[in-house]
A and B are shown apart, each in its own frame.
Chain A
Amino acid sequence: MELIPSSDASLLVRLGRTIDPATHQRTLALFRALADRRDPRVTNLHPAYASLLIDFDPLALDHTEIGTLIEGLESGEPEREAPPPVHEIPVCYDLELAPDLMEVCSLTGLTAEQLIAAHTAPEYVVYFLGFSPGFAYLGGLAPELAVPRLSSPRKVVPAGSVAIGGAQTGVYPLDSPGGWRIIGRTPLALFFPENNLHPTLLRPGDRVRFTRLHRQQFDAALVDRTPGEQHG
């Protein structure tokens, strides 16, 4: 584990340099242990694939003290964790909602049916959230679905768009610019800013499954949208 001062008010804890489940698990364990302390001197935590950035109040803490704090957490008894929630996210792969689907098919050599089957098969892990509130970087994409990002990003990607960028897939929670290739859309809301406890559907470490939704179901779901979460 490397402790790297990132600014006078932040410390980067690097647990590895690769994207792999074990390093990610250790990153999340550290993130949760620190978050559970609710130390008012720690102002923000940014977990990523293999690192945790810790923002702190520089009038109250310094890098050495954070280092000591972390050592204390590591030597503590690891708590038995509840299994992560599994979110089922219904996706409509209708071409009208999936402007890049045909191109992803031609880039990968798959038919639309094969692509949808490969995209709905895995259980994905939420590595971390970034880019915009509630945007999850998901791990577990079938390698044959990896495609390069668009050479020039779209100015507006509609909220709910499901997309592939490189070896990753994700869902845009809000209308935003974006360079990933759009292969479908979910009617599910992923962003609830009025909910102080859980403003986003997905949290670091959660699991995600995509299920196929037909167009009629999609249109009906837009009318009555309710978040669907199962604890697995």
Chain B
Amino acid sequence: MASHSLQIRVRAPGLLTTVQDLGRLGYAHLGFSPCGAGDRVATRIANRLVGNPDGAPVLEITLLGPTLEFSGNALVSVTGSSIECSLDGQSFPAWQPIEVPSGSVLRLGNTVEHARSYLAVAGTPQAEPVLGSFSTDLGAKVGPFFARQLAAGDVLTWQSPDRVAEYVAEREVISRLYADGPLRVTLGPHREWFAPQVERQFFSSKYVVTHQSNRAGLRLRGEPLALPSNEHLLTEGVPLGAIQVPGNGQPVILFVDQQTTGGYPIVGSVISADLHRVGQLLPESEVSFVQVSMAQAWDARRNLEGLLQEAVREVAREAEH
């Protein structure tokens, strides 16, 4: 397929813009965090809209987006949180492919309602993955794109196909992927640490996401949970989405840049079908939890995958770019 080279120059980086994909897997035993996009659903949809495979690298935008200058024609899409999007000063809609002519300036403003937006660019980056992933690990300073958050003056190079099939997103399906309501949690693995009334308190409480939250963990604020004070937990591996309760009784949801092991008791884990919603929580927003069984968690995940299949549809004719 004919393709062309394309440069994206960062004029202004925004608050925290990083290159991410679906994570750096297979290195937890050496201490590497999973990393990857905080909202993997939005990442997959952004990629599908421009004809990329689900796991292609995207720009993850946090709270305030970047201003980017394109040299070479590009096809892009913006998904995730609602965000102000403009191309050479003209606003454009999210959740659909957008043609960016060479020389244009794409500006993403503040996210609205949620925390993270995603920008996908049709094609493949001119970079080699590090440890199997294009994700930026901010803590370990690992990743093929500068190994840090993007800064003014950075240039990203992409190899972009000249022609891409046309895709549309189904708005109604997308709204179902981001349904409101409590985050669904399975119990364990440290049930013996939590008295039944403490477990009940956790599931009946409303928590606030504090400003001390980041990609490694969301620190919550609420009525503290009581733990047995004189017990010591041996450090064990911790899964993505685990809700740890440290000594102060305030839960922490471990997230994509989490450490691989931990020594605090875990009251439960957010199910894999709801992790993308964790990635969209804004500081000071309210969150609550509801207990589900493993069978319900797996049903929810299959349901999510089914919705993802319906979320993006190829339009019959081929479009010229």
Contact = CB atoms under 8 A, between A and B. Distances in A.
Interface of A: 4-10, 12, 14, 17-19, 31, 35, 43-53, 55, 58-59, 62-63, 128-135, 137, 174, 176, 191, 193-194, 196, 199-200, 203-204
A46 B261 contact: yes
Contact of B27 (A7, A18, A133): A133
Nearest to A53: B237
B242 interface: yes
Contacts of B179: none
B31 A31 contact: no
A17 B233 CA distance: 9
B25 interface: yes
B65 interface: no
B32 A55 contact: no
Which 5 interchain pairs have the tightest Cβ spacing?
A: A46-B237, A53-B237, A7-B269, A130-B261, A8-B297
B186 A59 contact: no
Given A7-B269, A7-B272, A174-B140, A55 B239 contact: yes
Contacts of B32: 133, 199
A47 B242 contact: no
Interface stretch (B54-62, B298-306, B312-320): B298-306
Nearest to A134: B31
B272 A46 contact: no
A9 B140 contact: no
A130 B25 contact: no
B1 interface: no
Nearest to A195: B131
Contact of A193 (B142, B260, B261, B270): B142
A204 B29 contact: yes
A92 B130 CA distance: 32
A193 B266 contact: no
**Residue from A6, A137, A194 having most chain B Cβ neighbours under 10 A:** A6
Given A193-B142, A203-B29, 16 more contacts: A5-B186, A5-B294, A6-B242, A6-B269, A7-B241, A43-B26, A44-B26, A44-B28, A44-B29, A47-B29, A48-B234, A48-B237, A51-B234, A59-B305, A129-B29, A196-B130
B240 interface: yes
Interface residues of B, number: 45
**Residue from B34, B141, B234, B302 having most chain A Cβ neighbours under 10 A:** B234
B139 interface: yes
B2 interface: no
B188 interface: yes
B259 interface: yes
Contacts of B234: 17-19, 48-51
Interface in B20-47: 25-32, 34
Contact of A132 (B25, B140, B297, B298): B140
24 contacts: A5-B186, A6-B188, A7-B240, A7-B270, A7-B272, A10-B237, A10-B269, A18-B234, A44-B29, A47-B29, A51-B237, A53-B236, A53-B238, A55-B25, A55-B28, A58-B301, A59-B305, A129-B29, A129-B30, A130-B259, A132-B259, A133-B32, A176-B139, A193-B131
B251 to A, nearest CB: 15
A196 B132 contact: yes
A129 B235 CA distance: 11
Nearest to A55: B239
A199 B27 contact: yes
A10 B239 contact: yes
Nearest to A17: B234
Given A5-B188, A130-B259, A199-B131, A47 B30 contact: no
B93 interface: no
Contacts of A5: 186, 188-189, 294
Nearest to B139: A132
Contacts of B261: 46, 48, 128, 130-131
A113 B234 CA distance: 33
A33 to B, nearest CB: 13
A4 B266 CA distance: 12
A63 B188 CA distance: 13
A63 B298 CA distance: 11
A8 B266 CA distance: 14
B259 A7 contact: no
B271 A7 contact: yes
A9 B127 CA distance: 31
